[in-house]
Amino acid sequence: MLKALKSNQDKIAIIDKGKEHSYQHLIDRINLYKSLIKDELSNGDIVALRAIYSFESIAMFIALYLNKNIVALLPDSPNLDEYLQSSNANKLIEIKSQINIKSLNPPKHDKIKELNNQSGLIIFSSGTLNKPKAIIHNLDNMVKNFADKRANSLRIILFLLFDHIGGINTLLSGLLSGSTLIIASDFSPKNICYLISKYKAHILPTTPSFLNLLLMTKEYENYDLSSLRLITYGTERMDENILIRLKNIFKKVKFIQTFGTSESGILPTTSKSSISTYFKLKPDEYKIKDGRLFLKSKTMFLGYMNLDSDNQWFDSGDLVKQDGDGFLKIIGRSKEIINVGGKKLLASEVESCILELDEIKDALVYALPCEILGQMVACDVVCDLAKSNAKELIKSHCKARLERYKIPVKINIVDEITFTNRFKKDRKLR
């Protein structure tokens, strides 16, 4: 890590709140933090750190990695105590005007023994009954995965959050290749377009939901985005209709689908094309069973801190289909199957059908309870049409393309589709 950073010492590493920080400045701050924590933290301590991107938090993250600690990245959430408890952290670091290190007293956990005195990473994903799952990774292994990263001078927007596996992937990949990372504190389309224009950013790693929001707001018309070369998208299914709309706007930009989970890490992918949602994984890193995608990667998690697990093959929960050339396509999530009187359908199939209509800007399909059939299909749509016209158009279009039980019974015209704090469609059960 330090060798890679030193090889780029004169380049700009991070732009935070308009201030440029060189790689040498980053190294100096890392060394300062290492000296501050060396007498306070022991190798193998689980250290909780608020996962909000800043020059200081990135430097502390690397200092903890070099100190062979296990870093628990706490989401920016009001339920801080819940995440702390799930992580089993015995130290909490707060970065304010000075560094504060607080001692905690959790029960000891056997899972950290698997790290064999290597550094670790704990991130969180949603679990059953809304209890967060604390996922532990070998951080040394994740860093080594980028050891042969070719040096470049790319400028990358840090869009995916610090506590997200995609955000960690962007951070490590960028720093180990000598890129410049641009921290976004405001994730509105207007601000992201402003940052791309101001700093001539080359790469935007983001989500399908954000990209569709960008289309709807048309903020791209107000800024010079000609520096943009690559947009990567992941974390949720991309609808091909949206992808084609994006490519028609950003004709010179390459679109690549990324894929991974909090448990498997980000897997190397090859997109079929910039207008295709089909992608390839390495043959030894996946298998398909009953249409469900199972993963096994070099950056596989060690397990959960607060749950039992079998980390041999991880059930991603994604439903896929595969073409004759071995390319995969995510067609939905197993938890998003709607059961109408015993007949099952995927919400994504109905969404794709609705989004074929140019008049529809966005759509969210979900199940509602039905006394007779158990569940019925409902949808929220964003459009500029009058309600009666929109409903008639959607029903007519769906009747011509879908079986009767798949046609939405309830259609709501809404101003916007709700997103989670990770810029994914909020698909919580209605």
Q: Residue 228: phi, psi to the nearest 5?
A: -65, 125
Comparing 1-143 with 184-333, is the CATH topology the same? yes
Give the pLDDT confidence score for residue 150 in this predicted structure.
Answer: 82
CATH topology for 1-143 is Rossmann fold (3.40.50)
Question: For residue 391, how many C-alpha atoms fall within 13 Å in the half-sphere facing its CB?
Answer: 11
Tell me how far apart the alpha carbons of residues 258 and 267 are, in angstroms, rounded to a whole number.
8
Tell whether the model's pLDDT for residue 5 goes beyond 80.
Answer: yes
Model confidence at 174, pLDDT cuts 50, 70, 90, reads: very high
Model confidence at 14, pLDDT cuts 50, 70, 90, reads: very high
Kindly write down the DSSP assignment for every residue of 308-355, as one continuous string: ----SSEEEEEEEEE-TTS-EEEEEEGGGEEEETTEEEEHHHHHHHHH
For residue 396 the two structure tokens come to 């007519």
Per domain, the residue ranges of the chain are: 1-143, 184-333, 337-425
Contact 181, 13 (CB under 8 A): yes
**pTM assigned to the model:** 0.92
Model confidence at 129, pLDDT cuts 50, 70, 90, reads: very low
Give the pLDDT confidence score for residue 319 in this predicted structure.
Answer: 96
* Sequence-distant (≥ 6) Cβ neighbours of residue 415 within 8 angstroms: 382
Q: Which long-range contacts (CB under 8 A, 24 or more apart) does 412-420 make?
A: 412/378, 412/379, 412/380, 412/381, 413/381, 413/382, 413/383, 413/385, 413/387, 414/380, 414/381, 414/382, 415/382, 416/362, 416/382, 417/209, 417/362, 417/363, 417/364, 417/380, 417/382, 419/209, 419/213
Tell me how far apart the alpha carbons of residues 264 and 278 are, in angstroms, rounded to a whole number.
20
**Considering the domain 184-333 in this protein, what is its CATH number?**
3.40.50.12780
Average pLDDT of span 250-272: 95
Tell me how far apart the alpha carbons of residues 258 and 321 are, in angstroms, rounded to a whole number.
17
pLDDT, one tens digit per residue, over 75-85 is: 988 888 889 98
Tell me how far apart the alpha carbons of residues 65 and 47 are, in angstroms, rounded to a whole number.
10
pLDDT, one tens digit per residue, over 15-69 is: 999 999 999 999 999 999 999 999 999 988 999 999 999 999 999 999 999 999 9
Tell whether the model's pLDDT for residue 430 goes beyond 70.
Answer: no
Report percent pLDDT > 90 for the chain: 82
Average pLDDT of span 195-214: 97
Tell whether the model's pLDDT for residue 345 goes beyond 50.
Answer: yes
Q: Which long-range contacts (CB under 8 A, 24 or more apart) does 306-314 make?
A: 306/86, 306/88, 306/131, 306/133, 306/134, 307/127, 307/133, 311/263, 313/287, 314/261, 314/263, 314/264
Tell me how far apart the alpha carbons of residues 72 and 66 are, in angstroms, rounded to a whole number.
15
**Residue owning tokens 């689908």:** 257
Average pLDDT of span 232-254: 96
Give the pLDDT confidence score for residue 428 in this predicted structure.
Answer: 66
Q: Residue 400: phi, psi to the nearest 5?
A: -80, -15
pLDDT, one tens digit per residue, over 288-331 is: 999 999 999 999 999 888 777 766 899 999 999 999 999 999 99
Give the pLDDT confidence score for residue 76 in this predicted structure.
Answer: 86
pLDDT, one tens digit per residue, over 379-427 is: 999 999 999 999 999 999 999 999 999 999 999 999 999 988 888 898 7
Q: Give the CATH architecture of domain 337-425.
A: 2-Layer Sandwich (3.30)
Mean pLDDT over all residues of the chain?
A: 93
Average pLDDT of span 187-205: 98
